[in-house]
C-alpha cells in the first residue's frame, strides 16, 4: 500500500462527493480548453496587419475611390519604398448571395507587396502576370470549387458592370497561390487592374486605396502626414493610417468580446476554486481524526500536509486532463468542419501548458488551508474529535 492508494481508498469512500468535485473540475477545464484556442485566433487576426505598410484612403469616405495618378506622386516621397493599389471588386460566384473576397490590383507588384501569400509555381505566376484577363486564386478557394489553372470562372460583380452592361466577368484561372504561413487565409481572388480598368463602364482610372510600403516603420506617422499634405485641398483628400492601426480599430469590438470571454473564464475558475475548496475542506475535516491517528503512528506533519496536497493535485489533474482532452476533440471536430477562422482553431501545446499551470496552481490554492489546519492540529485534539 502506498500513499496514492491511501488517497484512492479515501476517495472510494465518498464516491458521490468525489464525482461531484471531479465533475466541476472537468467542466471548468473543458471551458478553458474551448476558449483558449478562440482567444488565440483573435490575436492572430490582429497581428496579420503589417506595421511597415500604410493605407491611403479617401478622407471623405472609405468607400470613395482615389485617382490612379496619386500612386506616382506618393512614390516620390521620402521613406516610401513601394506603392501598390487595391480596388474592391464585390464578387460573387454562381449565386449573387455567394460572395467571395476579390480584389483588383497590379499583378506585377502583388507578390512583393503582400507578405501573407506565397507563389510556389514561378511558371503559372508569370502566366498570370502576363495575361490581363486571368486571375490568381487562393488555395482554399480553389480547393473548395475545384478550380484549376486554365479553368474559366465567371464572377458576378455587384459594383462594376462591363462596357456592354454585363455584370458577369469571365476570367481564366492563371495561378493558384498558397499562404505564407499556416495561419494565412487563402480564400480570395486577385484580378489584374489593367484589363479590369479598360473594361469597366464607370470609375475608370481610380483605385480603392493605396498600400504604401515604407523603409522605416518608426517614421510611419511622419510619412503618413506627408502623404496627406500632398493631396490637401485637392478634390480627393487622403487619410493615411498604418494597416495595423486600421486593423486594430476594426477589431476593437472583437477586443471587447475577448475581454468578456476572459472575464467569464476567470469567474468560472473562481467558482471552481470555491466549489473544490469547500468539498476538499469538508472531506478533510471529516478525516481530522484519521490524521491525528496517523500523526500518533509516526507520520510527520509535513507528510500529512503532503498527502492532502497530493490528493488535491490528483483531483485537479485528473479532472483537468479529462476536461481539456474533451475540449481538444471538440475543437478538432469544429476545425475540421468549419471554414475560415474556425478552421484555424486548434488546442496546441501552449494551451496545455496554460492548463497544466492552472491545474497545479488551483490544486495548491485549494489544498493550502486544509493542509495547514490538518498539520497544525494537536494530536490530542484530533483524537478527541475522532470519538
Partner 1 sequence: MTLHDPEIALKATEQPDATPLVVIDRVSRAYRKGKVAVPVLERHAMTIAAGEMLALVGASGCGKTTLLNLIGGADRPDAGEITVGETRITSLSDGALTDWRGRNVGFIFQFYNLLPALSARANVELPLLIHDLRAAERRARVDNALNLVGLEDRADHRPEEMSGGQQQRVAIARALVTDADLLLCDEPTGDLDQDSATRIMELLSLLNEEFGKTIVVVTHDPNVAAYAARTVRLTRPEAV
CA distance 90 to 313: 56
Q: Confirm or reject binding of residue 290 to partner 1 (CB under 8 A).
A: yes
> Distance between CA atoms of 130 and 123, rounded to whole angstroms?
11
Percent helix, strand, coil in the chain (nearest 5)? 55, 20, 25
| Residue from the set 37, 295, 311, 358 that interacts with partner 1 by CB under 8 A | 295
Candidates 65, 101, 289, 306; binder of partner 1 (CB under 8 A) is 289
Can residue 85 be called a binding residue for partner 1 (CB under 8 A)?
A: no
SS (H, E, C) 301-341: HHHHHHHHHHHHHHHHHHHHHHHHHHHHHHHHHHHHHCCHH
**3 touching partner 1, by CB under 8 A:** yes
Q: Which of 17, 45, 303, 346 binds partner 1 (CB under 8 A)?
A: 303
Does 314 participate in binding partner 1 (rule CB under 8 A)?
no
Residue 316, all three cell numbers: 485537479
Q: Are 127 and 192 in contact (CB under 8 A)?
A: no
For partner 1, the binding residues in 321-340 under the rule CB under 8 A are: none
Here's the x/- map for partner 1, 95-134, by CB under 8 A: it reads as: ----------------------------------------
- Nearest-approach distance from CB 375 to partner 1, in angstroms: 11
* CB burial of residue 173 (10 Å; 0-12, 13-18, 19+): buried
Binding status of residue 376 toward partner 1 by CB under 8 A: no
Total interface residues for partner 1 by CB under 8 A: 26
d(CA 306, CA 367): 9
294 near partner 1, rule: CB under 8 A: yes
Written in H, E and C, the secondary structure of 26-85 is: HHHHHHHHHHHHHHHHHHHHHHCCCCCEEEEEECCCCCCCEECCHHHHHHCCCCEEEEEE
Could you say whether residue 15 binds partner 1 (CB under 8 A)?
no
- 293 binds partner 1, rule: CB under 8 A: yes
Exactly one of 43, 232, 297, 337 binds partner 1 (CB under 8 A); that residue is 297
Q: Which residues bind partner 1 (CB under 8 A)?
A: 1-3, 6, 9-10, 12-13, 289-290, 293-301, 303, 378-380, 383, 386-387
Amino acid at each position: 500500500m502506498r500513499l496514492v492508494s491511501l488517497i484512492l481508498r479515501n476517495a472510494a469512500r465518498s464516491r458521490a462527493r468525489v464525482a461531484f468535485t471531479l465533475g466541476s473540475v472537468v467542466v471548468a477545464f473543458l471551458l478553458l480548453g474551448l476558449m483558449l484556442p478562440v482567444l488565440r485566433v483573435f490575436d492572430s487576426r490582429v497581428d496579420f496587419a503589417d506595421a511597415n505598410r500604410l493605407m491611403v484612403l479617401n478622407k471623405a469616405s472609405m468607400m470613395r475611390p482615389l485617382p490612379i495618378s496619386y500612386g506616382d506622386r506618393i512614390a516620390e516621397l521620402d521613406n516610401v519604398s513601394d506603392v501598390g493599389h487595391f480596388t474592391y471588386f464585390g464578387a460573387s460566384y454562381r449565386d449573387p448571395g455567394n460572395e467571395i473576397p476579390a480584389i483588383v490590383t497590379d499583378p506585377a507588384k502583388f507578390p512583393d507587396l503582400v507578405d501573407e501569400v506565397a507563389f510556389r509555381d514561378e511558371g503559372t505566376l508569370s502566366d498570370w502576370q502576363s495575361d490581363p484577363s486571368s486571375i490568381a486564386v487562393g488555395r482554399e478557394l480553389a480547393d473548395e470549387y475545384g478550380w484549376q489553372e486554365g479553368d474559366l470562372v465567371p464572377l458576378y460583380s455587384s459594383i462594376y458592370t462591363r462596357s456592354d452592361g454585363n455584370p458577369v466577368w469571365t476570367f481564366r484561372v492563371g495561378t493558384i497561390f498558397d499562404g505564407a504561413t499556416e495561419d494565412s487565409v487563402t480564400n480570395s481572388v486577385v484580378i489584374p487592374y489593367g484589363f479590369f480598368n479598360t473594361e469597366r463602364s464607370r470609375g475608370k482610372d481610380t483605385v480603392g486605396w493605396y498600400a504604401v510600403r515604407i523603409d522605416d516603420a518608426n517614421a510611419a506617422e511622419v510619412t503618413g502626414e506627408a502623404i496627406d499634405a500632398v493631396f490637401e485641398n485637392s478634390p480627393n483628400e487622403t487619410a493615411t493610417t498604418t494597416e495595423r492601426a486600421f486593423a486594430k480599430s476594426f477589431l476593437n469590438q472583437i477586443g471587447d468580446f475577448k475581454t468578456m470571454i476572459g472575464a467569464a473564464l476567470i469567474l468560472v475558475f473562481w467558482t471552481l476554486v470555491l466549489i473544490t475548496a469547500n468539498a476538499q475542506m469538508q472531506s478533510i475535516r471529516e478525516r481530522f481524526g484519521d490524521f491525528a491517528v496517523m500523526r500518533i503512528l509516526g507520520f510527520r506533519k509535513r507528510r500529512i500536509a503532503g498527502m492532502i496536497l497530493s490528493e488535491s493535485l490528483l483531483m485537479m489533474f485528473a479532472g483537468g486532463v479529462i476536461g481539456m482532452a474533451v475540449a481538444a476533440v471538440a475543437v478538432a471536430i469544429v476545425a475540421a468542419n468549419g471554414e475560415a477562422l474556425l478552421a484555424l482553431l486548434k488546442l496546441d501545446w501552449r494551451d496545455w501548458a496554460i492548463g497544466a499551470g492552472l491545474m497545479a496552481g488551483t490544486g495548491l490554492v485549494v489544498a493550502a488551508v486544509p493542509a495547514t489546519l490538518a498539520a497544525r492540529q494537536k494530536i490530542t485534539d484530533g483524537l478527541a474529535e475522532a470519538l
